[in-house]
């Protein structure tokens, strides 16, 4: 039996919500999910798809409702919106290669959604990850490595 794969980008509210229920599914079924970092924007590009805000732009009522729900979600959870997740996602690949992906995912989602910070700012990112007990200096350096960049691209292409 192949392990189910959880493709994620830290910028997706749905990824955050799914991550929070996966432990219950694992406990109930005995199955373990494999986490795979991908770039959601890259998936949209590779598949000829669009983000919902663009895809629904020609349907006034749907887009208006989507925007209302998004504003409600952001306001309720005090979430900063519209960040570039490239640094977070490269960090996830580096963390995976270094054997600390589970801790990185917890920290990344925590600092994106539970105690929101501007996680596309390298200084904020490093401070947040260090506060979560990760070797932020090493991970930040690894985000620039060609093998990390290539692996994230390969993950995204494979997901498409």
The residues with which 35 forms a beta bridge, in sequence order, are: 6
Q: Which residues have C-beta within 8 Å of that of residue 60, sequence separation ≥ 6?
A: none
pLDDT of 55: 74
pLDDT, tens digit, 9 for 90 and up, residues 106-160? 999 999 888 888 899 999 999 999 999 999 999 999 999 999 999 999 999 999 8
pLDDT of 94: 97
Compute the average pLDDT of residues 61-85: 72
Better pLDDT: 7 or 66: 7
CA quadruple 45, 79, 106, 143: dihedral positive or negative?
A: positive
**116: exposed, middle or buried (Cβ count in 10 Å: 0-12, 13-18, 19+):** middle
pLDDT, tens digit, 9 for 90 and up, residues 28-70? 999 999 999 999 888 888 888 877 767 777 887 887 787 787 7
pLDDT of 7: 94
Compute the average pLDDT of residues 17-28: 89
Whole-number Å distance between alpha carbons of 11 and 111: 11
pLDDT confidence band for 78 (50 / 70 / 90): low
Compute the average pLDDT of residues 101-106: 96
pLDDT confidence band for 80 (50 / 70 / 90): low
């Amino acid at each position: 039996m192949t392990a189910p794969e959880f493709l994620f980008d830290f910028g997706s509210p749905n990824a955050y919500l799914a991550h929070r229920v996966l432990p219950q599914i694992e406990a109930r079924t005995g199955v373990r999910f494999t986490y795979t970092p991908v770039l959601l924007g890259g998936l949209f590009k590779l598949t000829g798809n669009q983000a919902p805000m663009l895809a629904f732009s020609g349907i006034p009522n749907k887009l208006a409702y989507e925007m209302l729900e998004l504003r409600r979600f952001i306001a309720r959870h005090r979430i900063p919106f519209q960040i570039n997740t490239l640094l977070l996602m490269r960090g996830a690949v580096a963390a995976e290669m270094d054997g600390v992906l589970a801790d990185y995912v917890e920290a990344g989602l925590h600092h994106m959604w539970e105690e929101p910070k501007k996680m596309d700012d390298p200084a904020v990112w490093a401070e947040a990850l260090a506060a979560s007990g990760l070797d932020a200096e090493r991970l930040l350096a690894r985000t620039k490595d060609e093998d990390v960049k290539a692996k994230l691209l390969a993950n995204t292409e494979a997901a498409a």
